[in-house]
Amino acid sequence: MNYKDIREECCEANIALPRTGLVDLTFGNVSVLDAAAGVFAIKPSGVDYAALKPEDMVIVDLEGQTVAGELRFSSDTPTHRCLFLAFAEHGVRSIVHTHSRKAVAFAQAAIEIPCLGTTHCDYFNGPVPVTRAMTAAEVQGAYEWETGNVIVERFAELNPMEIAAVLVRNHGPFAWGVSGAKAVETAQALEIVADMALHSLSLNPTVCPAPNHLREKHFFRKHGAGAYYGQK
């Protein structure tokens, strides 16, 4: 098998990252899952986005073994694999990791991105959470896998399809979706609401979150069985 479909989807999503302004240098990656085949495609490590081709995407199985591709997979691959194992049952097919600057600022400050207005509500049904600090043992051990574990731990009582992003403390954001394009869109929305929250908090440090009834109205008019925003 050459996994043409997920390689093309993955390549297209990775190439989109620089156009959104979400990445600097080669900081970032996208993966796309084929759940039926039990594999995912992911960006190769350290390769410039402008040079990427579908055949460069590395195919990795859910045990962490390369099954197709000549290049070394992204160093973040174990984190992606951990998240697919935990979140695929919810419909997650693609994961994006960036070091987008405003979201990283919240991650480094160890502060969740508060849900202050309807732009945030349209994408995230609540504040975007931040993980706990990783222990020395976690960092010195299987670091990238443990990064996935602290994300999964943080989502023990959260729906990953209602809050499709997280801030890894001292590190940066991960976002996800039902496709490569949707995951990139969510990562872009995350950076936008992080920017808005930073400005709002600078103007009024005691600003209150959007009320629940407004948050739920905006989120569920775009998501779920009763959604009516946009075209079918």
| Residues 30-55: tens digit of each pLDDT | 999 999 999 999 999 888 888 899 99
Average pLDDT along the chain = 95
Band (115; pLDDT cuts 50, 70, 90): very high
Q: Is 61 a catalytic residue?
A: no
Distance CA 33, CA 150 (A): 21
In this prediction the pTM is: 0.93
Q: Is 56 a catalytic residue?
A: no
Band (215; pLDDT cuts 50, 70, 90): very high
- The residues that bridge with 95 in the sheet, in sequence order, are 31, 176
The predicted pLDDT at position 91 comes to 94
Of the listed 34, 49, 61, 122, which one is catalytic?
Answer: 122
Distance CA 165, CA 104 (A): 13
Domains of the chain by start residue, with CATH: 4-220 (3.40.225.10)
